[in-house]
Amino acid sequence: MGTESIDADVRDRYDHGDHWISAAVERGLPFGLDNRLLTAVVKFNLIPDVLAALYVVTQWGEWSVRFLAAAALFTAWANVAPYLIWYYDKRVLPSFFDTVSEIVVDTDRLDELAVRYNKFYEGFDLLSALLWGGGFLAAGYFGAGVFEAQGMTGDGRLFLWTTLAYGAYVGGVLGEGGFSGTVTTLFLVREVAGLEFEIQPLHPDGLGGLSTVGEFAIRTTLLWSSASLLIPLAFQLISGAGSLNVVMAAVTAGYIGTILATFLYPTLVINRRSERLRTETLEAIRREYLALQERVDGSSADGVSDVNDRLEMQRLRNQYDDYATVRLYPLQIEIFVRLAGSVLFPLFFLLLEYYLPALG
């Protein structure tokens, strides 16, 4: 992921703006440091990371291994999230427009979509930020007893307030950027499915060229599923608020549902559109074939014209078979494995929370 690059022509044609987080990551660090991941960590999480280290050192013996592990996973996601936002903005989106242009007939319309959805993702959704930030803050507030039991009382109470502020920041700033990418993918694929495109039965992907949609969907799904790292701490806060284990299962199930929807909705939309297109194409081929057959049957001569008609009929039969047999659901083995991994990831943390309580 970190070494992937895109062609300059692709950037010029399909990259029309920056999400403010990806713009900050793109600028790099002083003194010629141009590592995107390092830039993301330093610019967006250096102070929280320092505070976390101070908490570990100054409250030594107050925290449990179980809590510290959950907090470390939360912090790890927060550190990598700005990079993932940059990656979606500067790699995933432009690459999708480039590859889908192979099957879209109206490339001018595709160019318009590239401009519009770059601007859509570039914008800051205040409502989404308030919902995510407020949700994270509320989870920390109602689960404050968990933090207090880990040494965030007395001289450590400062860390309680910085933790609550950090939660609001992660949800409102980083959560907004990550969620916006998922929404962008869902809306964009729906619009692409409404464009005029062609099924290519002989495309190397064996899917009529539709693998580009499956790849776009699974890359978005994987980025979204990375938030599974937040689950262990969320479970501890839920337990601290006196909730039952069934709530943990419900939260996990709901999250897995959003992961599946992120992949299934775009792929099903393009599949339904391509199935209709295939039906129309097959009907057109059938009508052309029947017209030729009628002309051949009504002809009494076996001249060059008749031979050409029969050859054309054979070509149409082959074309019909190619269209009829090509798979149009963009799911390959590689994509299926990645989808399964994105679903199993949160399940792993659910099982960990159920069966390894002794870590605390």
Reading the chain (360 residues) residue by residue, the pLDDT tens digits are 544 567 777 777 788 888 899 999 999 888 777 899 999 999 999 999 999 999 999 989 888 888 898 899 999 999 999 999 999 999 999 999 999 999 999 889 999 999 999 999 988 888 989 999 998 998 888 888 889 988 898 888 899 999 999 999 999 999 999 899 999 999 999 999 988 888 999 888 888 888 899 899 999 998 998 988 888 888 888 776 555 566 667 777 888 888 889 998 999 999 999 999 999 999 999 999 999 888 877 766 666 677 787 888 899 999 999 999 998 887 777 777 888 888 777 777 767 666 655 444
- Predicted local distance difference test score (pLDDT) of residue 2: 46
- Predicted local distance difference test score (pLDDT) of residue 301: 60
Residue 2 is assigned to a structural domain of this protein: no
Residue 322 is assigned to a structural domain of this protein: yes
Residue 257 is assigned to a structural domain of this protein: yes
Residue 169 is assigned to a structural domain of this protein: yes
256 token code pair: 């897995």
Residue 250 is assigned to a structural domain of this protein: yes
Residue 122 is assigned to a structural domain of this protein: yes
Structural domain boundaries, residue 134 = 8-359
φ/ψ of residue 104, rounded to 5: -80, 130
Q: For the stretch 226-245, what's the b/e string if a residue is b when 16 or more beta carbons lie within 10 angstroms of its beta carbon?
A: bbbbbbbbbbbbbbbeebee
- Predicted local distance difference test score (pLDDT) of residue 5: 66
Measured at the alpha carbon of residue 147, what is the angle toward residues 131 and 80, in degrees to the nearest 5?
55
- Predicted local distance difference test score (pLDDT) of residue 253: 80
Whose CA is closest to 184, among 211, 219, 212?
A: 219
Residue 3 is assigned to a structural domain of this protein: no
Count of all residues that appear for the chain in the document: 360
Q: Are 105 and 96 in contact (CB under 8 A)?
A: no
- Predicted local distance difference test score (pLDDT) of residue 296: 79
CB-count exposure of residue 20 (10 Å: 0-12, 13-18, 19+)? middle
Cβ neighbour number for residue 182 with a 10 Å cutoff: 18
Strands (E), 28-75: none
208 token code pair: 């009529």
- Predicted local distance difference test score (pLDDT) of residue 304: 65
Q: Are 131 and 48 in contact (CB under 8 A)?
A: no
Please name the helix (run of DSSP H) or strand (run of DSSP E) that holds residue 6, with its range, or none: none
- What is the tally of structural domains in the chain? 1
Radius of gyration of the chain (CA): 27
How far is 9 from 15, CA to CA, in rounded Å? 10
Cβ neighbour number for residue 128 with a 10 Å cutoff: 17
Cα 119 off chain centre by:
18
323: Cβ contacts below 8 Å, ≥ 6 apart: 199, 201, 278, 281, 282, 285
Residue 315 is assigned to a structural domain of this protein: yes
